[in-house]
Amino acid sequence: MEYRTERDSMGEIKVPADRYWGAQTQRSLENFRIGAGHETMPDGVIFALAALKAACAKANRALLPDRMTEEKLAAVTAAAAEILGGKLDGNFPLVVFQTGSGTQTNMNVNEVIACRGNEIAGKNLLHPNDDVNMSQSSNDIFPSAMYVAAARAVKLDVIPALEKLCAIFRRLEKENDGVIKCGRTHLQDATPVSFPQEISGWRGSVEKGIKLLEGSLEGLAELAVGGTAVGTGLNAPEGFDRLVCSILSGGEGSDPVCPGVEFRPAENKFTALTSRSAIVTAHGCLKAVACDLMKIANDIRWLASGPRLGLGEITIPANEPGSSIMPGKVNPTQCEAVTMVAVKVMGNDASIGIAASQGNFELNVFAPVMISDFLQSARLVSECVLSFAEKCVAGIVANREKMRENLGRSLMLVTALSPVIGYSKAAETAKLAHKENISLKEACLKLGYLTGEEFDAAFRPEEMV
């Protein structure tokens, strides 16, 4: 491998000649091998940092034109655009477990933009600190990148996946109109529900999760940019924060980095550099979604259990063999994947909560692990929801005969008799029917509480939903 020599404030260091990063990236690469090749900084963070660098350069051009010349702006934005387009992938090798402020990844992006920008300009035009990092500090830019990346993941990936799942549930509700089945509480037989009502419960949970996530975007839209090192805004011009947020939101002739989200500067930069409540809140909403997804997946695999000795009230797609030893066995694998993702999200929520509690004085230094876990949760939820929707939920078919059979055998239909014969006599009827394995009607007649005609008039399961 060929190398070139780069220099920073600590001296000279050799850097691979075919890479655009510089000395500080190389030092981090050599000093932090924790999770190397596995737990690298997520692409979403790199994308957000590149978008921020372009926005900051445009703001600096407007506010500090003597320092950010038109030539420098063109070089910065051209290099940043290549990062955003994926053309410079392979130049961001640093791991999550580095400095807790994300400084080394911020410098990684600064160095790549400077080096590639100079190549585009055909001369030594950009300095990674003086030009690409102008009016910025890692302490305000990395948290801003965290929030931009988190907002993009929620808005562009998670919410659309959940909306697709909701659409499939709505279709299933229409297709199963009029289908009545036994309800269940405490894993015991309960009064009837319609199958569309049961499905609507699943859909409603997902819709509520979407609303929670949409609400969490409000906190993620508030950025620390402009606070620089400790929140005072040292070395950033007046109005820099507002202009950067406007550019990120699609103002000043720019494309929005996250359509539908209006970014704004944090009113209190000292809070913005230390508090991570917005990330905690947004991930809490992801956790809430994961909890509901686990419940829905469990419902579906219970209803599909069997096929002969379980509930067997629905069938789900048979996607692959389920056993290496039992021929013909098929398992609810998509449901199982959803529940495993839910467990992982719950674990990530614990790490994010602990990390958010550890701010000291003017900075929280758990930033990389927080955004890494957040983006992992968002990615897993969106991917598992799409897979679950397409490969399981879309293929649910009600076993209407089994539903009718189970409903007919349910002792809790006796609830319809309570207004006629009273709770105590209805309970006695149910117990006798269960003890002697006879129908509710037979038990009621045997006890002499109703005539056959009276029973039929009161006993209408279709009117109990």
Active site residues: 186, 323
Contact 113, 54 (CB under 8 A): no
Residue keyed to tokens 């190398």: 3
Separation in Å, CA 62 to CA 65, 144, 244, 310: 6, 21, 11, 69
Contact 397, 300 (CB under 8 A): no
Other C-beta atoms closer than 10 Å to the C-beta of 395 total 15
Residue 27, phi then psi, degrees to nearest 5: -65, -40
Interatomic CA distance for residues 192 and 410, integer angstroms: 9
Interatomic CA distance for residues 385 and 337, integer angstroms: 10
Q: What is the DSSP string of 86-129?
A: TTTTTS---BSSS-TT-HHHHHHHHHHHHHHHHHHHTSS---II
Task: To the nearest 10°, report the CA torsion of 121, 126, 132, 133.
Answer: 180
Interatomic CA distance for residues 192 and 464, integer angstroms: 6
Separation in Å, CA 225 to CA 103, 133, 271: 14, 12, 12
Residues linked to residue 7 through DSSP beta bridges, in sequence order: 12
Token pair of 408, please?
Answer: 């007919």
Helix (H/G/I), strand (E/B), else coil: 38 = coil
Total residues found in the chain within this entry: 465
Other C-beta atoms closer than 10 Å to the C-beta of 10 total 9
